[in-house]
Structure 1
Amino acid sequence: MPWIMTTTASNKIEAYSFDVMSKSPQKKFKLVVLQSVIEAPKSSFILTPKLLNELKLNNVAVFDSKKEARIEYNKLNIGTCRYIELKLDFTKEFLSNHVWYGSKSNGSWVQHIPM
């Protein structure tokens, strides 16, 4: 699952925005307030299309693992941060059309995908 870094100094949810591909030893960053966050248990956020778009527009660094985020944290020269996991949210439509929820209906968005 993907990870982002947020600050611990504010009540607002502020993520670190910076260029991960930069080769300079001292990276410049800015804090971006995230508006469309749905919090999930265990220090994680639900990754919705709105949040994904917001992360992209604000150039928030997204990492493949917590280990990669820690490596970048050391390059940023900041005091403390929180590592937040982004978890996928399955839509009600998706869940209601699968066997483990007891429904075998074929009326799904999958039928409308052109082959």
Structure 2
Amino acid sequence: MATINVTDDSFKADVLDSDKPVLVDFWADWCGPCKMIGPSLEEISDELSDQITIAKMDIVENTGIPTEMGVQSIPLMVLFKNGKPVSQKLGAAPKNQLKGWIESEL
């Protein structure tokens, strides 16, 4: 299962009400590091699809949730479990580091 796109309107249903953990990648089209980690997150999404949902939120098109959460810098990945943010990682990292971090939090 590939990553899903989340909006301000779908955030509650897709992330907070999800029955499995959700990693939200806050990103923007103008952000180089965001584009660098995109393919890695797609691969991780496929590899861990039974354990986690990986969602992407464009902070330019959706300003409500990122503002509420105090997103200052991107890429910012926030892991939600049972509707609560439990861990976050700021900045780009190699795929093996991203996957290791995600697996250590599951």
TM-score by length of 2: 0.28
Of Structure 1 and Structure 2, the greater helix share is in: 2
TM-score by length of 1: 0.26
Q: Which has the larger radius of gyration?
A: 1
Higher relative contact order (CA 8 A, sep 6+): 2
